[in-house]
Amino acid sequence: MHLSVRDVLLALCLAFSASFRPVWGRPATFEEDFRITWSDSHIAQIDGGRAIQLKLDPGSGCGFASKRRYLFGRVSMKIKLIPGDSAGTVTAFYMNSDTDMVRDELDFEFLGNRSGQPYTVQTNVYAHGKGDREQRINLWFDPSKDFHDYTISWNHLRVVFYVDNVPIRVYKNNEARNVPFPRFQPMGVYSTLWEADDWATRGGIEKIDWSKAPFYAYYKDFDIEGCPVPGPVDCPANPKNWWEGSEYHRLSSVEARRYRWVRMNHMVYDYCTDRSRYPVPPPECLAGI
Ligand SMILES: *[C@@H]1O[C@H](CO)[C@@H](O)[C@H](O)[C@H]1NC(C)=O
């Protein structure tokens, strides 16, 4: 049998990316794939390490991160947010290159609210150190009642943020219009729970009610499929990676319909239409979806 270098690398790459898929052996677990980055006294593993509980109290918030970084792929988690009065708290799930000056970052931030009022999900995209691309939607369900899926899907052509398989944001590769796209730096997967009552809820007017503390958020079903870096060198550019497939080049008609529905009914802020900040809309805003 003859195997070329390319075949071997491809097999290694598949093995690496497959090792995060339940079908291949094991689901990602907290113990093996993540590390605590901030305040381990506030993070508890439950359900044999398959789920974790994050705590925020007047002493501290907390956070965790993946042990490895990835270049392209799909990351998803199920999250159950703080119930009741969560005003002033922010729970985040994001990818970050950890490179200060030329940071790439893809953010989901869940902004708490007063009891009974809808959570806001803020997304942002940093590419080559430039962010300021906030969008906000109000969720169409109570994210503290049950676990829901939050996914970041990332290939050479686009980044899509999904909530329960509904695309809520698409950031296309508009390098042809000189808009930077995160394409060169691997990113780690991060989660944090912290106090941000100087801005999170109604622009900082609503403060945390510490009499309701401690606050808890829950994470489970960590799923990472992507090219780990360091890892097989030709993995990130391999067009055969499933996330580079043609069905992931643009939204399907069902997805496009859901995306329009979110934008029409649930979007509460879009930097693209904020004329006080951007009298001239940034070039990626003119490019459509
Ligand atoms: C909180 O609820 C109010 C009232 O429904 C809403 O306008 C706001 O967008 C919600 N989210 C935040 C983070 O304030």
Q: What is the pLDDT of residues 125-138, one digit of tens each?
A: 999 999 999 999 99
- Tell me what pLDDT residue 288 has: 62
Ranges of residues in the chain with a pLDDT under 70 are 1-27, 288-289
What was the pLDDT predicted at 191? Answer: 96
Atom of ligand 1 nearest to the CA of 111: 13
How far is the centre of ligand 1, averaged over its atoms, from the C-alpha of 116 (Å)? 10
pLDDT of residue 226: 94
CA dihedral 253, 79, 151, 229 (to 10 degrees): -170
* pLDDT in the model for residue 15: 47
Helix (H, G, I), strand (E, B) or coil at 23: helix
What was the pLDDT predicted at 155?
A: 98
**3-class DSSP assignment, residue 190:** strand
Q: What is the DSSP letter of 127?
A: B
* Rg from Cα positions in the chain: 19
Separation between Cα atoms, residue 36 and residue 251, nearest integer Å: 35
Question: In this structure, how many other beta carbons lie within 10 angstroms of the beta carbon of residue 41?
Answer: 11
Give the residue, out of 110, 117, 142, with the most ligand 1 atoms within 8 A of its beta carbon, to mutate for a pocket test. 117
Write down the pLDDT at residue 1. Answer: 40
Ligand 1: centre distance to CA 86 (Å)? 11
- The kind and range of the H/E element at 263 are helix 253-265
Q: How far apart are CA 162 and CA 187, in angstroms?
A: 18
Q: Is the distance from the beta carbon of residue 120 to the nearest atom of ligand 1 less than 6 Å? A: yes
Candidates 31, 32, 105, 284; catalytic one: 105
Place of tokens 């969008």: 135
The answer to whether the CB of 269 is under 6 A from ligand 1 is no
Query: Is residue 255 flagged as an active site residue?
Result: no
Give the per-residue pLDDT at 23. 33
What is the distance in angstroms between the CA of the first residue and the CA of the last residue of the chain? 47
Per-residue model confidence (pLDDT) at position 31: 81
Q: Give the residue, by CA position, lying nearest to ligand 1 atom 12.
A: 201
CA of 70 to the centre of ligand 1 (A): 34
Asked if residue 122 lies in contact with residue 102, where contact means CB atoms within 8 angstroms, the answer is no
Domains and CATH numbers, the chain: 5-286 (2.60.120.200)
Cβ 201 under 6 angstroms from ligand 1? yes
CB contact at 8 A, 238 and 156:
no
Task: Tell me if 122 CB under 6 Å of ligand 1.
Answer: no
Compute the distance between CA of residue 108 and CA of residue 148 in angstroms, rounded to an integer: 13
